[in-house]
Structure 1
């Protein structure tokens, strides 16, 4: 009888490895960074899935505290407060992000520029504007825009805005950056698949729990409740923009 014990143990071990692990899809929508975030992960069960979603939310909150120009305690706000006064020492992460933004400005010859934020006071995109700014107001604001006026010192990790009244903002890339950082975090924690949709800045990895490709619905701008087109994606990012909502 003793001869059969090892064989029985081996049989159960082999049988255990032969079983396919089943996954579930867990989803949560939450307002973060002033926008809607849809976070979807594929996990071995709902409990684990929601743990990973909470980790994602914590990471987005961390990034918001770093780059938000609306949070008076953020590093970005500190840079803006000291415009035309003195350089501000920042974290390596924020320094690299600003450095990257300046590089994109150079490549696009200024078509992309995080210093556009100095025009926030005269242009409102929330529907509250009643009158257009005067030509003089526009000229004064434009004079403060220019990526070449953002001075970086890589040795001391400092950022200096040359003119008083200058401001930087990550409105154009902040949500996409947050989505990428969340993906990086969850992949490092062996989350097999997911979608991070930051109000149109979307990144994916892996596949659905069923093994199928993720399907991304592009909203019809003339009827937001209808899907204009479906886009299958694998290990890809998608960015959308429109004039029908903020």
Structure 2
């Protein structure tokens, strides 16, 4: 992705009351109607568990389609199981786990998907000056967001010790031969990009089955293409919790785009009444402390959307916005201001907004 230094004017929306943390949820507004009187197309629905979360897929086809529902459901299930066998750090013999155990300095040939996701990750790491980093696993575990929890924050000495063994630049990739190596004993974790990339993988499967109208949701990350059952473009709601109820802040739409979000509401614990975010700053080794509650990114590919959303969340409302404008990213920021919040979005985001 080419850099562009042109700065655009910040677009700020009205202030809304918010008594809880702001969240982006994958609510589909005006997605499909159950009223057969208006239905011109047929909807297929698939759902299940994957990667410690869930998936939900709506595929829209012509009424006279010959798709075998059971066969397609099995294909999706097997695809995501195989994908997890590649990307998971919880499976000891996954491809990623084997890569993490390979001797330091040894080149390892990779499958197409693992190589591609490492390539996407490194691109975003470089563009964000390290705000996105796939080697933060030990820090994530140290702060209690991994398999083991903790009741108190780690000491500065513990953080410094772990930071010595992280750094995205220690993972080298060779594009010509689709291989990679670790130049230091770093541990690669793809939790901040794998779900978004998985929407791309599922999209390819659907398209290979001649399905070009769909909405894929995996762990809150989405990919949409074509139309819904009412023959209208999909509309996705960016929502906030307010007084125990949700309300749409902004609706977005698009064709063949991915939508990802990152925000502290997703995973945290409390220490002395203060929320400790699961999003860590690779520079400080500590949870982010700025006022950015949520950032949503719309791109063509889910892997990039997921990674950029994390990077912008780490950078915060000022630096994150500057990066998004510079890279011409479609990004929507929700910034906490006491018991209220304000929104701002990049000029590129405007084309996806439902007025």
Common topology (TM > 0.5): yes
Tell me if 1:146 matches 2:164. no
Contact kept? 1:114, 1:147, Cα under 8 Å:
yes
* Conservation of the 8 A alpha-carbon contact between 1:39 and 1:53: no
TM-score, length-scaled by structure 1? 0.80
Following TM superposition, the consecutive aligned residue runs of length 4 or more in structure 1 with deviations greater than 4 angstroms are 222-225
Query: What are the equivalent positions in structure 2 for 1:1-246 lying under 5 Å apart?
Result: 22-43=40-61, 44=63, 48-49=68-69, 51-82=71-102, 84=104, 86-125=106-145, 128-154=149-175, 156-164=177-185, 166-222=186-242, 226-229=246-249, 231-235=251-255, 236-246=257-267
TM-aligned CA distance change 1:96 to 1:199, over 3 Å: closer
Name the structure where strand makes up a greater proportion of residues: 2
Q: 1:213 to 1:62 in 2, by over 3 A?
A: same
CA distance in 1, matches of 2:45, 2:229: 12
Structure with larger Rg: 1
User: Which blocks of at least 5 consecutive residues in structure 1 are unaligned?
Assistant: 1-20
TM-score (norm 2): 0.57
Higher RCO (C-alpha 8 Å, min separation 6): 2
Instruction: Let me know the Cα RMSD of the aligned residues.
Output: 2.6
| SS at 2:263 equivalent | coil
5+ long unaligned stretches in structure 2: 1-38, 268-355
User: How many pairs align?
Assistant: 225
Structure having the larger proportion of residues in helix:
1
Aligned to 1:11: none
Mapped to 2, the partners of 1:223 and 1:215 lie a distance apart of 24
Deviation at 1:97, TM superposition (A): 2.2
Using a 3 Å threshold, how does the CA distance of structure 1 residues 104 and 83 change in structure 2: closer, same or farther? farther
What is the distance in 2 between the residues matched to 1:65 and 1:212? Answer: 36
Deviations 1:1-29 (A, max 9, x none): xxxxxxxxxxxxxxxxxxxx952212233
